Amino acid sequence: MNMRILGIETSCDETGIAVLDDELGLLSHELYSQVKLHADYGGVVPELASRDHIRKIVPLIKKALKDADTNAQQIDGIAYTQGPGLIGALLVGASVGRSLAFAWNVPAVGVHHMEGHLLAPMLDDPKPEFPFVALLVSGGHTMMVKVEGIGKYTVLGESVDDAAGEAFDKTAKMMGLDYPGGPLLAKMADKGTPGRFDFPRPMTAKPGLDFSFSGLKTAAANSIRSEKLDEQTKADIAYAFQEAVVDTLAIKCRRALKQTGLKRLVIAGGVSANTMLRMQLETMMKKINGKVYYPRLEFCTDNGAMIAYAGLQRLKAGQVESLSSKAKPRWSLDSLPAI
């Protein structure tokens, strides 16, 4: 049966809405970023994020439906981000999504935010075939997952402290860059001199697939404090920092592929837009005759399209949320039911 889904994403500081049709594909997607709202504070303020989602969510839903040339009667189901994320922000999307589903008499399903990222490359062709190894790298999460099917996830390793994107943002903040600093630091690194600074590749000398970026952040902080910070020095530190993160992620990917015997790698989440990371993983996968897949750039960061896609698969499999649906600020990926 063909289905048309409304997807709602409100886990942090972006309001994402999308309309996805099982046969016709993505009909519309809207994204409102709260970056300017939080920039003065140097990070996301949860209460302000929740309030802004409340202001933006209904106008964005109306616009997404209009752009998709779709009315309420044509929607067959609603998918919303149930977790993990900021509890107040999640509650906005969950309550609006569940209420609309009740009003329109259609099923609703709560989607795991990281499952949305993991399946985001499926929005385009060619789609990666199962099984594959997925590297999920964003501001809030860094994890390596073996994916055998939708809901068949084995978390192979994750960050024991800061996520990769968080380390990027914090290091950028120490350099005086605006929030969110990760993309600005990556841009600054383009002008950096290779080899002037050498930072550690954390947890790569010992076996295992867990990540740690706090020591790397400290090494960068020490250089920032001890050096005379002209623009070139900043760029050189940015280059060394980015190179260390990318090398660490690539080493762990290579290790995960060897451990699982797989040749397909999916990389998703905000940091998957990083050019140096993409280039290094492309080179690595060519050497082993493997293939790497990523979402298109607009679907690397949080968005409603990925939630609509993940929700569509679960609704088609008969998974439906009850009226008493709850937001889940903490929610392990490998606890999801297989479909």
Q: What residues form the annotated binding site for substrate?
A: 136-140, 169, 182, 274
Alpha carbon distance 93, 311 (integer Å): 14
Instruction: Note the helical H segments in 190-230.
Output: 214-226
Task: Report the candidate in 159, 186, 164 with the shortest Cα–Cα distance to residue 175.
Answer: 186
Q: Say how far residue 227 (Cα) sits from the centre of its chain.
A: 34
With helix as H, strand as E and coil as C, how does 111-160 read?
A: EEHHHHHHHHHHHCCCCCCCCEEEEEECCCCEEEEEEEECCEEEEEEEEC
Max alpha carbon distance in the chain (Å)? 64
Q: Which single residue is written with the structure tokens 């992620």?
A: 249
Q: What is the DSSP letter of 107?
A: -
User: How many Cα atoms occupy the beta-carbon half-sphere of 280 within 13 Å?
Assistant: 20
Residues 148, 149, 152, 153, CA torsion sign: positive
- Which segments are annotated as binding site for Fe cation? 113, 117, 302
- Which segments are annotated as binding site? 113, 117, 136-140, 169, 182, 274, 302
Tokens (6 digits) for 56:
């933006």
Task: Report the candidate in 72, 273, 69, 81 with the shortest Cα–Cα distance to residue 168.
Answer: 273
Q: Distances from the Cα of 206 to the Cαs of 129, 174, 216, 329, in angstroms?
A: 31, 29, 16, 31
Instruction: Note the helical H segments in 6-45.
Output: 35-39
Query: 146 forms bridges with which residues in the sheet?
Result: 133, 154
